[in-house]
Amino acid sequence: MSDTKPIALDAMGGDHAPHEIVAGAVHAVRERGLAVVLVGSPRVLYEALADHDATKEIPIVRAEETIAMDEGALASLRRPRSSIAIACHLVRRGDASAVVSAGSTAGIVTTGRLRLKAQQGVLRPAIAVALPTLPKPTLLLDAGANAEVKPEMLVQFGHLGSVYAELAYEIAKPKVGLLTIGSEAEKGNKIVKRAHELLQNSPGLHFIGNVEGHDLLTGVADVITTDGFTGNVALKTMEGAVRYAFSELRQTIDGSRMSKLGAFMQRSRLRELRRRLDAEAHGGAVLLGLNGTVVIAHGSSRAAGISAACRLAADLSAQGVVARIGDRIAATQRPHRLRTS
């Protein structure tokens, strides 16, 4: 469909911008056959493209301002011509199909909400992250866009995640769990308890009940809904715990009296496993509920991660995720209209 429109790639955001971002763009274009425009400082980007002999393959759109990695929401307001703002603008104008950025998450969320606006009926856009469960990922959302929520938002996050799971992982009727501190309906804080009631009565949603922290990686749910505070803490705790287990393990292996060859093999297998668990390989998080597809690549992304994020953005855009979410939200609101009319 609109797949010929390019991905607008924020070339100035991320710990390894602009060189790894540009390298990722080159990979996405040459190896994945995607169309990409780089948004950022033309002089810098032209030079970086020249290193890859790619100045003729990838166009540049000028943006002289940048939101730094440690800047938050306010910077988005202060810098209306930042690379992420221009990338959003390209999508809004219909000149690009989706945005990819490895910049500051707070900056992307605020700029996205400001430039692309929330879709009609969407209370709050949310960040969905794919957790490395097998055979299919579990989507956790909100992973950090909304530190404060209302119960109704937790229900919507369930719907947003369901649409994503249907499109990206071809799950027919995604199972939705509510993250809380016990399996019984009355477990949790006030917001979660109310959300539990609403989820039980939300048409078109396959609510399986409460889930807990240890369920994030068991695949018991396809979609796990939570507020952005809890979701962000849980996600970072998970990343930290996996990193910790691996580092302890590496010491264990290195300290054991195995042959050098055996230890070498173990380490290479460990690396392989670690890659699979690595968030970057999944292409990053998706900001759902805006009038445009926005993929947030991990801040530490290198070329491979950026290229995977471009693939994810192109796929979601081609599958019409925005329209599908629009339909879904409209459907959930119909009974309300009936009741109030």
292's CB contacts (< 8 A; 6+ apart) are 88, 91, 92, 98, 99, 112, 116, 322
Report in angstroms the alpha-carbon separations of 193 from 125, 179, 229: 22, 11, 17
Q: Residues 219-234, buried b or exposed e (16+ Cβ, 10 A)?
A: bbbbbbbbbbebbbeb
Q: Residues 92-123, buried b or exposed e (16+ Cβ, 10 A)?
A: beeebbbbbbbbbbbbbbbbbbebbbebeebb
Q: Which is nearer to a second copy, 218 or 333 (CB)?
A: 218
Tell me if residue 205 falls in helix, strand or coil: coil
Shortest separation between residue 177's beta carbon and a second copy, angstroms: 12
Shortest separation between residue 276's beta carbon and a second copy, angstroms: 8
Shortest separation between residue 97's beta carbon and a second copy, angstroms: 30
Q: Which is nearer to a second copy, 232 or 293 (CB)?
A: 232
Shortest separation between residue 18's beta carbon and a second copy, angstroms: 24
Q: Which is nearer to a second copy, 19 or 193 (CB)?
A: 193
Shortest separation between residue 206's beta carbon and a second copy, angstroms: 22
Are the C-beta atoms of residues 291 and 164 closer than 8 Å to each other? no
CB-CB neighbours of 75 under 10 Å: 20
103's CB contacts (< 8 A; 6+ apart) are 10, 12, 13, 14, 17, 66, 67, 69, 83, 84, 299
Contact residues toward a second copy (CB under 8 A) are 70, 72, 106, 144, 147-148, 179-182, 184, 186-190, 192, 212-218, 226, 228-230, 232-246, 248-249, 252-253, 255-259, 262, 265-266, 269-270, 272-273, 277
Q: Which is nearer to a second copy, 232 or 317 (CB)?
A: 232
Shortest separation between residue 224's beta carbon and a second copy, angstroms: 11
| Backbone phi and psi for residue 179, each to the nearest 5 degrees, phi listed first | -75, 120
Q: Which is nearer to a second copy, 6 or 144 (CB)?
A: 144
Q: Which is nearer to a second copy, 230 or 293 (CB)?
A: 230
CB-side neighbour CA atoms (13 Å) of 226: 28
Shortest separation between residue 295's beta carbon and a second copy, angstroms: 20
| Backbone phi and psi for residue 252, each to the nearest 5 degrees, phi listed first | -65, -45
* Unique residue bearing structure tokens 């809380």: 180
Q: Which is nearer to a second copy, 54 or 208 (CB)?
A: 208
**Type and span of the H or E element at 36:** strand 36-40
The DSSP symbol for 113 reads: H
310, 146, 76, 168 alpha-carbon torsion, rounded to 10°: 10
Q: Which is nearer to a second copy, 50 or 147 (CB)?
A: 147
Shortest separation between residue 71's beta carbon and a second copy, angstroms: 10
CB-CB neighbours of 37 under 10 Å: 20
Q: Which is nearer to a second copy, 53 or 70 (CB)?
A: 70
Shortest separation between residue 113's beta carbon and a second copy, angstroms: 17
